[in-house]
Structure 1
């Protein structure tokens, strides 16, 4: 059996799965510290269906800890960014384009040094160890506690990043974690560098949070390995999460989409996940979220690590509703969040929320309906129609063609949606739709990805493609996938005409089922190679 947990802004959902069968499912209010909410959810799960801790094979968690810390610009480490590329790239130094509040939150400092490579692996300039040592001294004097290292075209040749990391560790000590860009982002220097800086700023927070999550699971007597969900719907173990916290940023909507695929049986569809604060709309292709093809802005910073293509609308079950006093009705984007059960009218509060309107319209039977009996029917209908129109518009914007695309609604807030979107067809609500995110976490697989620029010699294209495919499969297996279940789920080949040597960018992703030997369960916990090799090993 497995336990899946997803921490949202309003609710923490937990499910107990036996294979793909849901044995128990609960919703608990997300706590301010998040971790205690997980403990509460586990306790409720056991009350609903008692289980022996040693019968649990694995625990999977999707968490908002890290993205919340970045958005709030809190609990971030003093961070330095070292870029290897001189004499090139000096025109746009590290941290260029960052919001000033974030730069201040991380006490950000940027440094430039010689190094870097061309796309085909040729050096731009040699690495200068003395230069790196001098910069390390400046970092130490500035009180830096975490470092991000990026080098031009390091996904092609990572030697300089690794060499610089060894020098920095020798100078600064093992207590200063080093994040390397070739392990985090893709081709594209500034976006990859930004993602690495964000990762570095979260490293110390990740240490404490992952330790806390592990302790909350162990406190329930569960000795099974703990995994965290990644942005692309695959898993990573706790040690990997300590090193790469940015890989969890989009785990919430990704888990919901994966759960929707399992519950509905639809592998290609639009998924609308309505939570307490937002409605996230994404598209599943072959059972996995369609990935964004352009850079993704996170808290105002451009990045290029793997993120699902998701459109968020500020509408959820906790969204504040205004206009019942005669003004034009509005919904959100602000929400009462995890305080829904204290502040919504049906729960005795004085805030009018979208959930109150769903109860007034008879779409949900929760709380005390008499508290919303006085709302005008025309007002309730107008607000719910507005919600339907806004969400349907978001779904339509996510379609890539005029071909029919099934719509699956999940999340507790999906009670706000009608049974059919005009022009889009019926809205499917599978069984256990309200906890699809936790189910998605529990059934997540293991992935490996290759994203490189290859110089393809005449007549060698098939050999290069086979090499990339096998590399992706090997990475998935090394990350903990059962070799018998690994398959290629995404392949993209794009010639780059402005580079010489018949340069071609190849992206290849392989996934497989997590392989857990019950006899080795204890050894796997926290000691694996890092499940989710697609982050960039």
Structure 2
């Protein structure tokens, strides 16, 4: 991606839509507005404001990068979910824990998924232990059709080693369900069966919504007469095509906090720091490591469902600019997690409302200039002091939980709710508030690069460790180029060995990630 190319970065959150226009390292213009029910309408309005502030030629815009939390929000809120058939290919093995085990009861009831256990599968070596039961699979597809299934999740034992088993199964299912969206687990998760299956079902449940939302994105830019390739931010802060986002919406579930962390790094020039993004409802605390968000090493939960999907290590707490301040007789009892959200401008005291929020406390304490300060002049000094103490105590506790060392580290403060922080924070060497901090997530989207990654078993005994790692690095680079990266810019930024000590072989699970700049002129699907 050339340094002279103009880029449009957008973050579509549950409350706000943020936009920046950038050329090279320079932010040319920015805008912020509320997200609308039809996300396309909100994009048209806020992007229009940003274009007016820039006053440039929109034909100069070479690429559009969008980060969104629309899909993960829908799953958390249990809305707009497709009817799913979960097909597990593992019999006579892999049946000890049935599909959807461990899912929240209310989510299982809402999803009302049809589940099927089918014969077939392979060992970790890739050798079949049972043939695919095609008759049972065809019968399952017919039953799913009769149940009104819209989307299918297919999971087979050790599918990352033998993806052809799931591909054969999908071909059989398509004969009966030609219009259904089909998600194959080999393209979604890691080695573990149950967590990978969970991620596949989550993805399948969001497939219809993803097509609708991404189509709305594309139409919005057609309405704006912006003829540039559109990319979507994924969980690791890199880009995928719109077509990939429609097929794999789960790839975008953590794009919001990831873009904030990447944007914070760009705006300050730091490569290692704590990042606190305070919005209207929550504060997201993440860790910047080597210029990228640190990934969690533990199981990840999406809307209460355990997956082995790769996600940034982010801690969210219920503290934001719209958080309710709960009071008793002459004292503050708690802050949040309830929030007035985007209704702050009508509910907050300083805006003429009748709800005491953390923003009102910040205005009364003199750390923010918003609304009418006279409307909070009656708040007692002791009560304000207690609230400010509690705000900082909650943030300090969260920061302490995200850190891996007691040594003080720099902290980058971003987001519209950053007005809540008015004092030094314990465990922090310095607090940085960069320019454009309020739209850091859109900046993170605009600067995103293209990634490629592999998560496979390599035979160290046969190949030797050095050759196996070289192959893993080469495979990750090839995936990045395939995704649209400039081959000359691709570099491996992460490679992890996970010895499979429970297996009698020299196989080692290797995770490798490579990133590169977007190749100028690439046409996103």
Coarse TM-score class (shorter-chain normalised):
over 0.9
Q: What's 2:25 paired with?
A: 20
Q: Does 1:35 align with 2:40?
A: yes
Do the aligned partners of 2:461 and 2:507 also contact (CA within 8 Å) in 1?
Answer: no
Count of aligned positions:
520
Could you say what secondary structure the match of 2:392 adopts?
helix
Could you say what secondary structure the match of 2:467 adopts?
helix
Do the aligned partners of 2:14 and 2:73 also contact (CA within 8 Å) in 1?
Answer: no
Q: Does 1:202 align with 2:206?
A: yes
In structure 2, C-alpha distance between the alignment counterparts of 1:484 and 1:324, rounded to whole Å: 62
Instruction: State which of 511, 515, 518 in structure 1 corresponds to 2:519.
Output: 515
- TM-score, normalising length: structure 2: 0.96
The CA RMSD measured in Å over matched residues stands at 1.4
In structure 1, C-alpha distance between the alignment counterparts of 2:65 and 2:332, rounded to whole Å: 43
| Aligned-residue offset at 1:490 | 0.8
Matches within 5 A, 1:290-329: 290-323=294-327, 326-329=330-333
Instruction: State which of 245, 248, 252 in structure 2 corresponds to 1:244.
Output: 248
Instruction: State which of 456, 461, 466 in structure 1 corresponds to 2:460.
Output: 456
Do the aligned partners of 1:85 and 1:124 also contact (CA within 8 Å) in 2?
Answer: no
| Aligned-residue offset at 1:256 | 0.2
Q: What's 1:144 paired with?
A: 149
Q: Does 1:180 align with 2:184?
A: yes
| Aligned-residue offset at 1:419 | 4.4
Q: What's 2:3 paired with?
A: none
Do the aligned partners of 1:10 and 1:340 also contact (CA within 8 Å) in 2?
Answer: no
Do the aligned partners of 1:5 and 1:15 also contact (CA within 8 Å) in 2?
Answer: yes
- TM-score, normalising length: structure 1: 0.94
Q: Does 1:370 align with 2:374?
A: yes
Which ranges of structure 2 fall in alignment gaps of 5 or more residues?
1-5
Q: Does 1:224 align with 2:228?
A: yes
Q: Over residues 319-345 of structure 1, what are the superposed CA-to-partner deviations in whole Å (9 max), with x where a residue is unaligned?
A: 111217534332110111111222112
Do the aligned partners of 1:491 and 1:509 also contact (CA within 8 Å) in 2?
Answer: yes
Do the aligned partners of 1:9 and 1:276 also contact (CA within 8 Å) in 2?
Answer: no
Instruction: State which of 157, 165, 169 in structure 2 corresponds to 1:164.
Output: 169
Q: What's 1:434 paired with?
A: 438
Q: Over residues 156-188 of structure 1, what are the superposed CA-to-partner deviations in whole Å (9 max), with x where a residue is unaligned?
A: 111110100011111211x11110001011121
In structure 2, C-alpha distance between the alignment counterparts of 1:293 and 1:226, rounded to whole Å: 31
Instruction: State which of 470, 484, 496 in structure 2 corresponds to 1:492.
Output: 496
In structure 1, C-alpha distance between the alignment counterparts of 2:185 and 2:462, rounded to whole Å: 31
4+ residue runs over 4 A deviation? none
Residues 1:374 and 1:470: Cα distance change in structure 2 (over 3 Å) = same
Q: What's 1:7 paired with?
A: 12
| Aligned-residue offset at 1:308 | 0.5
Do the aligned partners of 1:9 and 1:338 also contact (CA within 8 Å) in 2?
Answer: no
| Aligned-residue offset at 1:58 | 1.1
Do the aligned partners of 1:31 and 1:338 also contact (CA within 8 Å) in 2?
Answer: no
| Aligned-residue offset at 1:11 | 2.0
Matches within 5 A, 1:349-498: 349-457=353-461, 460-498=464-502
Q: What's 2:343 paired with?
A: 339
Residues 1:484 and 1:182: Cα distance change in structure 2 (over 3 Å) = same
In structure 2, C-alpha distance between the alignment counterparts of 1:90 and 1:237, rounded to whole Å: 36
| Aligned-residue offset at 1:459 | 6.1
Q: What's 1:533 paired with?
A: none
Which ranges of structure 1 fall in alignment gaps of 5 or more residues?
527-537
Q: What's 2:277 paired with?
A: 273
Do the aligned partners of 1:73 and 1:101 also contact (CA within 8 Å) in 2?
Answer: no
Q: Over residues 376-405 of structure 1, what are the superposed CA-to-partner deviations in whole Å (9 max), with x where a residue is unaligned?
A: 222112111111111111111111123332
Could you say what secondary structure the match of 2:206 adopts?
helix
Relative to structure 2, which stretch is displaced further, 116-125 or 234-243? Answer: 116-125
Could you say what secondary structure the match of 1:457 adopts?
helix
In structure 2, C-alpha distance between the alignment counterparts of 1:488 and 1:138, rounded to whole Å: 46
In structure 2, C-alpha distance between the alignment counterparts of 1:16 and 1:426, rounded to whole Å: 29
Do the aligned partners of 2:300 and 2:308 also contact (CA within 8 Å) in 1?
Answer: yes
| Aligned-residue offset at 1:458 | 5.2
In structure 1, C-alpha distance between the alignment counterparts of 2:93 and 2:512, rounded to whole Å: 30
Matches within 5 A, 1:278-293: 278-293=282-297
| Aligned-residue offset at 1:516 | 2.3
| Aligned-residue offset at 1:258 | 0.2
In structure 2, C-alpha distance between the alignment counterparts of 1:36 and 1:230, rounded to whole Å: 23
Q: Does 1:50 align with 2:55?
A: yes
